[in-house]
Chain A
């Protein structure tokens, strides 16, 4: 069935997503500038589990009323394919990115039945001078460092989450596709419980499952590569010259669906002048994951 939103075609397809494990960490500092320094370092090189171990991003800024210690801060979300990797990556990034950042502190941002270490093992950096404080049922560690004291909560929660929600923006030029993607990302940043982990929230190198090379389990999504229109079983019509993908990880199916809806509608509001012709999604024929985000259902508000 054909669906047009403000002259932009919405493909009758779905995005395929998979199960992940996720956590949220609240990072505070003397001011937002240093909170962002810490958060950017912690979520750096965390675009895809394929090569980074985790997918992570800044969820939003927090006011001083929202943070445990009353300082400015940001919340970050971090996702991995399994709990072991998530724990390992979180500890490593805490040690190298938050402990090292002047004035930064880290706190749990989510409750969950499963608890993973935030500062539980990092405390040994204190070499015996570390002290703990149990305040209102939560254990904090105070580690003496050269700028004063580093404060971290002992654990944070780990929850079941979903990764790999996505949609594709098909446009008549590369600048047009990117401009539309930027508009979508700005709108999607306002949705809680989700992150778009790629650079600027946008990925140009969407992948398909598998490869002609035995050692590769993902390779370029040739059906959506505009320069291969005559050389492969393309999904692109002649006027499409560039495709951008937005990938979304979130705490629940509903969070991702809402984020996709907000992003697609923001693009469609730009209309035909934007150069965007179609919105599609990464459909891998059921090979990638159990969660199907059907574009038509999401935009009709009937997704489940």
Chain B
């Protein structure tokens, strides 16, 4: 069976909510039912065939072709299977994702991996603000799973993140790890201002020394044995993080303004 493929017919004028087009939400539907599925386009409801050509029938693997950054909520609430996005994705990519794998070959807008609980999200280019953060009104962000970003990320990466792993090969914006509760964020590029702002716990694994504010304090250079366990867990991913081996790091702890016990580790110190 070929992957169930949704090919975008024309450029979108409005945002389309793709949350109903996941392997678990389509698994019990016939091809006719899938074609008749309604999606929200702008402020009204349309049939999926109004926007997409549909080919293939394997609902465990869904492909979006010609994808655009107006396609929001791709993989939302996903609990099984695979989604491949050939192109860009809109906001809320992998929203509350529980299991499975999403691979976006382009860039994604803000709130990717928002409220994510489990699974793997890979983005080959850049991602917007609030990666792995909590959605509006929630006190906890990402609660599990793994996010791999090949490019850059925007501001507030991991805001209120509770658990899980985010690995970013490029640069990130301001407030990286802000209000972070737990989990791990790795960045090989540069980070912006106010890194670890109001950080409670968790780990920021950075290649370059950031401009930290006064309430994140230097604890010296150390060899931390737990990093061997962490680096071992990176081995299965296709990322430069899998090459890390040195357990020698400079350790900063904060945010003291928040009585925080979070850590910022500078690699190869």
Contacts and interface: CB of A to CB of B under 8 A. Distances in A.
Interface of A: 68-71, 105, 128-129, 131-136, 140, 142, 148-149, 151
B213 interface: no
Interface string B229-269: 11011000000000000000000000000000101000000
Interface in B1-56: none
A135 B224 CA distance: 15
Contacts of B184: 133
A133 B263 CA distance: 12
A151 B163 contact: no
Given A128-B261, A129-B261, A148-B223, 18 more contacts: A69-B226, A69-B228, A69-B229, A70-B228, A105-B225, A131-B201, A131-B261, A131-B263, A133-B184, A133-B229, A135-B230, A136-B233, A140-B226, A140-B229, A142-B224, A148-B225, A149-B224, A149-B226
A68 B224 contact: no
A105 B226 CA distance: 10
Given A128-B261, A148-B223, A133 B228 contact: no
A135 B228 CA distance: 11
B126 interface: no
10 contacts: A70-B232, A71-B225, A105-B225, A128-B261, A131-B261, A135-B229, A140-B226, A149-B224, A149-B225, A149-B226
Contacts of A69: 225-226, 228-229
A142 B203 CA distance: 12
Interface residues of B, number: 17
Given A69-B225, A149-B224, A134 B232 contact: no
> What 3 A-B pairs are tightest by C-beta distance, nearest first?
A69-B228, A136-B233, A135-B233
B139 interface: no
Contacts of B182: 132
A146 B233 CA distance: 27
Interface string B62-83: 0000000000000000000000
B166 to A, nearest CB: 14
A135 to B, nearest CB: 5
Nearest to A128: B261
A128 B228 CA distance: 23
Contacts of B229: 68-69, 133, 135, 140, 151
Contacts of B233: 135-136
A68 B228 CA distance: 8
A151 B201 contact: no
Contacts of B261: 128-129, 131
Given A69-B229, A140-B226, A151-B226, A134 B263 contact: no
B147 to A, nearest CB: 15
A188 B121 CA distance: 49
Contacts of A136: 233
A237 B203 CA distance: 71
Contacts of B230: 133, 135
Nearest to B259: A128
B202 to A, nearest CB: 8
Contacts of A151: 225-226, 229
A28 to B, nearest CB: 9
A151 B222 CA distance: 15
A50 B242 CA distance: 50
A68 B229 CA distance: 7
A135 B163 CA distance: 10
B203 A133 contact: yes
Q: Of B203, B222, B226, B263, which is in contact with the most chain A CB atoms at under 10 Å from its CB?
A: B226
A129 B184 CA distance: 17
A149 B230 CA distance: 15
Contacts of A68: 229, 232
Nearest to B253: A129
B242 to A, nearest CB: 14
A129 B253 CA distance: 11
A148 B228 contact: no
Interface string B92-132: 00000000000000000000000000000000000000000
Nearest to B231: A70
A300 to B, nearest CB: 45
Contact of A148 (B163, B201, B203, B224): B224
B248 to A, nearest CB: 12
A142 B222 CA distance: 14
A283 B182 CA distance: 57
Nearest to B219: A144
